[in-house]
Amino acid sequence: MFTFDPVIDAIQSSKKSFVNTFITNEKIAKSLNDYVDSQTAYTKEAMNATTTMVTAVMSETTKGMQDLTKFDYTKFGEGMMKGWLNNVNKK
Cα torsion through 63, 66, 70, 74, rounded to 10:
110
- DSSP letters, the chain, are ----HHHHHHHHHHHHHHHHHH---HHHHHHHHHHHHHHHHHHHHHHHHHHHHHHHHHHHHHHHHHHHHHS-HHHHHHHHHHHHHHHHHH-
Backbone angles phi, psi at 64, to 5 degrees: -65, -45
- For the entire predicted model, the pTM comes to 0.68
Task: Write out pLDDT tens, residues 30-49.
Answer: 999 999 999 999 999 999 99
Q: Give residue 91's pLDDT band: very low, low, confident or very high (50, 70, 90).
A: low
**pLDDT value, residue 86:** 84
